[in-house]
Amino acid sequence: MSFGTKIDICVPCFVPTQCAKCSGKGNMKLIPNPDPNLQIAVVMHQGRFDLRAESFLCMDCREITDADKNDYIFSGFWPARATTSISYLFCEELFAMWYHLRHKSPLNSEKMFINTIEEISKESGRSPIVNDPLFSRAFKEWELCRLNIKVKIKNMSTVSCPPCGKSPVMGSSDGNVKLKRHASAGKVLNPQNERESIQEEALRFGDLVIKSDKDVANFRNRIYTKIKKTKKKEMCGGSAFKAVKVDSCKRTKSDETGLLLSVCRHGIELGAINMHEGESMTYTLFLQKLVFGFNCKFFCSDFICRYEKFVRKVAIAFPEYQQMTRKMKGILPRMHAKAHHWPCQILYNPHWQKVAGLTVGEEHEQVFSKLSLYGYVTKHMSKANRMDLLSAAILYWNWGKIERMPSILSKRLKRASKCVAVYNDNLASLLNSNQCNIEDLPEILIELKTKALANLGS
């Protein structure tokens, strides 16, 4: 295949305003590097271009200065390696395209994106080869730089909710088993035909979003020193909850079996942890401890009625958790509450709790509807790559949610204002049909809770 005729075109870069030798201003000119062997492969969204390295010529003193990596980065090109000699450059616009595409459409893989760039180059008669490992490494460094700019320079929130402020109303916790990772992922066959782990890269996001597996394991082992392990399912009415276990079984085919995360009532994720077995109450306790640090008033869980009994046992064995049990009240998500016995629906109904307002407790389901799509690619990743991708996905969700928050809150306010009149009419109709006054409602609620507690006690 013919790729056409090569011409001396250098990498397009910004020209310095001042000469480094004579300090002359405004007389710098961009020229191809005098050495014809200094070629650079530049990858853009239009494909790959093989260009000459660039130099700067001072028209006053005729001094020629070679461009370095800072000149390329300042001009919007990201080097593949942090070395003085540069042979590969990636356009930041290409990285920005892939950054948004991988989170807007999580089913796309990096390999397919690179293949698309190669096909574009091939159709234009240029070299179609794009180095996959160099693209992956350079993109990770660019993404980390982007994160540091947002967090350290722009002071953007990461895992906190600006509308909630310093005291979120609720932290809702639930697990997602679709975000698992196969035990064979990230391993290669050794000469003995046995799978062994490849050398892992360092986590780029650390425990900013997903907390350390070591910290979670140490926390659970400490709880198990005084709380007996049991894999027995707990019942509530006629429903059996698999997650209501102090300990759970391991999965032989999966290393990470899912992700357990907590969100506020606005759908902003407050933190997450990996699960290495089935969902259990010790995992949930770690997240409750996490959201307690955010000063949440309520803790929402699908099995809060059985979980609170477990937490009370933990508080007796570990007195430092007594304050958490006193200050945080448990509530049930509105949809999952229908699977519980009627006394639980009365005692843990969020709409019957002061300060909770119209908190639903199902906000994590919105997050899961998006995060679950990443499961198609995370199950084949190494441990570090999976955690980095999910951390980036959570931050992408949070930042998008915060950006849309003014519109979301204004729509909620308008909808609530319209519903006030309707709810007042419904309330008046119910009071008339039952021959009650609005002043009787607190006493009715107390009576209902008393009967519910008596039913649970029996």
pLDDT digits (tens, 9 = 90+) for 141-174: 999 999 999 988 988 888 888 888 888 889 988 8
206, two tokens: 């650390």
Q: How far is CA 428 from CA 48, 346, 359, 421, 437, in A?
A: 70, 21, 23, 11, 9
pLDDT grade, residue 3 (50/70/90)?
A: very low
Per-residue confidence (pLDDT) for residue 5, from 0 to 100: 47
What mean pLDDT comes out for the span 330-343? Answer: 84
The yes-or-no verdict on residue 426 having pLDDT over 70 is yes
Q: Which residue has the higher pLDDT, 292 or 35?
A: 292
Q: What confidence tier does 60 reach under pLDDT thresholds 50, 70, 90?
A: confident
More confident residue, 235 or 378: 378
What are 317's two structure tokens? 């064995």
Q: What is the pLDDT of residues 110-150, one digit of tens each?
A: 999 999 999 999 998 888 899 999 999 999 999 999 999 99
Q: Residue 201 — very low, low, confident or very high, per pLDDT cuts 50/70/90?
A: low
Range from 184-188, 316-320, 375-379, 390-394 carrying the lowest mean pLDDT? 184-188
Residue 122: both structure tokens together: 């091939």
On the question of pLDDT at 387 being above 80, the answer is yes
Question: Using CA atoms, how far apart are residues 36 and 67, in angstroms rounded to an integer?
Answer: 15
The answer to whether the CB of 283 falls within 8 A of the CB of 292 is no
Q: What is the mean pLDDT of residues 230-252?
A: 63
Residue 402 has pLDDT above 70, yes or no: yes
Estimate to the nearest angstrom the gap between the alpha carbon of 388 and the chain centroid: 9
403-424 per-position pLDDT tens digit:
999 999 999 889 888 888 888 8
Token reading at 295: 């000063």
37 vs 137: CA distance, rounded Å: 25
Mean pLDDT of 385-391: 92
Using one digit for the tens of pLDDT, what is the confidence trace for 319-329?
999 999 888 99
Domain ranges of the chain: 28-151, 162-187+200-407, 416-457
> What is the reported pLDDT for 120?
93
pLDDT of residue 2: 43
pLDDT at 197: 53
- Is the pLDDT at 195 greater than 80? The verdict is no
**Average pLDDT across the chain, whole number:** 85
What is the maximum alpha-carbon separation in the chain?
99
Flag whether pLDDT at 1 surpasses 60. no
